[in-house]
Structure 1
């Protein structure tokens, strides 16, 4: 038996792999920070063997409650991913599985590789409706690309959507793929109507360094990008600095920041009610958006999520709060589960890349529904 992780986003530490029924592993921390939750590795030579993978430090991970009712994902071809039996007890997370082939991959969630990311950008540009521009470099000198879709006239609404500030939240880029598929479809009437009045600015992956490194939450310098928006640094958070500068150039009428949540088994929105400038207009817009997203996707719900911030108590280093306060616009963090969606469970696949993609498609409907009200 051989266990390896020396590939894009691969991450695991091997303690012992001498016994199929007691394979001992540790979840590796981010390369320059203490967050540990993401894992992605390959197993060879274990076909038809009952394998028990024990993650010894799961109880010391960034979100230990995230292992409760969690099921890991596996794939033989890295295209089709399925859930495998997983349980958590006494600080150890365990996968029990019998591989049916000589090579299999296990991961925290369905990966979205850097090659997929580059292909997504290329396909978007190939539609003829999208312009790709370069905003700068990451810490490790990877490109920070922006997709601009629309006429870019001054009267257009400026809609910004970013994803994967936290690189291990791969469902966020699956969401972007779905959104782009629909937005760039010339036969979709909602997309055509939106692009008559709005320009979209989309950053499919805010953190390509962390994605390639197999990090959960930080970039190559150890910065949690979603805590850098008040004062980004060219040295440690150039990704945020570049995007923030471009926002100040274009303006923002609506902002969506796409994420995944380790603990909560639901799709939900987190608003910006705690920013100093929150008012009745933004409250009404937020209610309208939630209402229309409920109509667009049964995967979304409003009962479960983060507690609402008290007035004036928002963390202004978070992207949505900073954007809302600086542009006076509606801003949401959209969260999807690493676990299954408890409202619509799927025993075979759980919450998946495809379900994230479908939610991305559905998200255009509430944007269209409230577009005429986005500007005061």
Structure 2
């Protein structure tokens, strides 16, 4: 008998009917305190050799319905190696068929990054290199630790570079990116990392939204707050994650800032800067162009032809992390976006854009940071 379950870290879907394996009907489950829905993660058991057909019946009502065209569901038998299952979006529904080779299989919107792996990442970082320290910033609303990794030894004249990831918990590729960046920074034989840490300290928050991640939310924390709309006036009651990080930034200072995300609809890696800020300066413009040129040279997975329009977020612009930080600290500030779909320029249909590709992309950002380091101030 087939059984579907979501009783695990980041599990989320509503089962409408599963009596007929060829016609399993599902619905997206909204965030716990908000109406956003698009993330799903569930386990099917008793399915070895069974031709199963799945339909997400309310895909058209998701937060980003444009994200389904050209998208493929991710699947895994061991929760370590994920692959793409061909999917199709038609008549407002996402459908896919799969005949599993094993008794159980996990399906997800994107390769998950578990809270347990996050804890391993933080704990392992502090033992991997003497130049890494872990600072507990405080607690989330669900009582989880919000951790900051300080990588590098502070000293007069060094630049302070901040990287935060996964403000939107369903964008798990962001923490895979952070993992790749952290591992490179802790590698004593990684030449760009060594050169960067000679003149800079990196402050990395690999998961800005622990509660939303574990709850299986797409966009919000436990209180229903979209953290990337909270930077103008965060509160400990609604958005402690932003309030705590922002307080630390004001204490230490920021010379460059990267906020790592995933985009549902655009099948490319790209960045969005501060061009829409009233305070945006010619110096910031030159820094942005230099950074993008250096990343184009460092990684074939980066591109600048496709992305967001300037001032796309309208009146909310200055509540976004990148715009608030760029304005407050007069610094280089970028939002980094990676796709849920495969990359259109260099697709890998068997796996799509995935955790490993995100990790490698995270490591590649060290070269553009190094290239602009001497001109940040």
TM-score tier by shorter-chain length is over 0.9
* Distance in 1 between residues matched to 2:315 and 2:55, nearest whole Å: 41
Q: Equivalent residues in 2 for 1:110-189 (5 A)?
A: 110-127=111-128, 128-189=130-191
2:331 paired residue number: 329
Native 8 Å contact 2:43 2:107 kept in 1: yes
Matching residue of 1:71 = 72
Gap regions ≥5 residues in structure 2: none
Residue aligning to 2:218: 216
Q: Distance in 2 between matches of 1:317 and 1:104?
A: 40
TM, length-normalised to structure 2: 0.98
Confirm or deny that 1:82 pairs with 2:90.
no
The residue that corresponds to 1:40 in the other structure is 41
Query: Which residue number in structure 2 is paired with residue 290 of structure 1?
Result: 292
Within a 5 Å distance, the mapping from 1:21-32 to structure 2 comes to 21-32=22-33
Counterpart of 2:276 in structure 1 is 274
Please list, as runs of the form range in 1=range in 2, the aligned pairs for 1:287-326 lying within 5 A after superposition: 287-309=289-311, 315-326=317-328
Report the Cα offset of residue 35 of structure 1: 0.3
Query: How well do the aligned residues superpose, as a CA RMSD in angstroms?
Result: 1.0
2:231 maps to 1:226: no
> How far apart, in 2, do the equivalents of 1:341 and 1:348 lie?
12
Report the alpha carbon displacement of residue 11 of structure 1 after superposing the two structures with TM: 0.5
Residues 239-294 of structure 1 show CA distances to partners (whole Å, capped at 9, x for unaligned) of 00000000000000000000000000000000110111111111000000000000
Q: How far is 1:158 from its partner?
A: 0.3
- Name structure 1 gaps, 5 residues minimum: none
Distance 2:315 2:345 in 1: 31
Instruction: After superposition, give the CA deviation of every residue in 1:3-39 in whole Å (9 maximum; x if it has no partner).
Output: 0010000001000000011000011000000000000
Cα distance in 2 for residues equivalent to 1:236 and 1:313: 20
Deviations 1:199-240, CA, capped at 9 Å, x for gaps: 100000000000000000000000000000000011010000
How far did 1:309 drift?
2.4
Q: Give the whole-Å Cα distance in 2 for the aligned partners of 1:80 and 1:131.
A: 30
TM-score relative to the length of structure 1: 0.98
Distance 2:44 2:13 in 1: 11
1:352 to 338, 351, 354: 354
1:248 alignment partner, SS class: helix
CA shift at 1:154, angstroms? 3.2
Task: Report the secondary structure of 2:318's partner residue.
Answer: coil
Contact map agreement 2:257 2:325 (CA 8 A) in 1: yes
State the distance in 1 between where 2:372 and 2:308 align: 23
Shift of 1:313: 6.9
Contact conserved, 1:275 with 1:314, CA < 8 A, in 2?
Answer: no
Shift of 1:314: 7.0
Task: Name whichever of 121-130 and 76-85 sits farther off.
Answer: 121-130
Paired residue secondary structure (1:159): strand
| SS of structure 1 residue aligned to 2:317 | coil
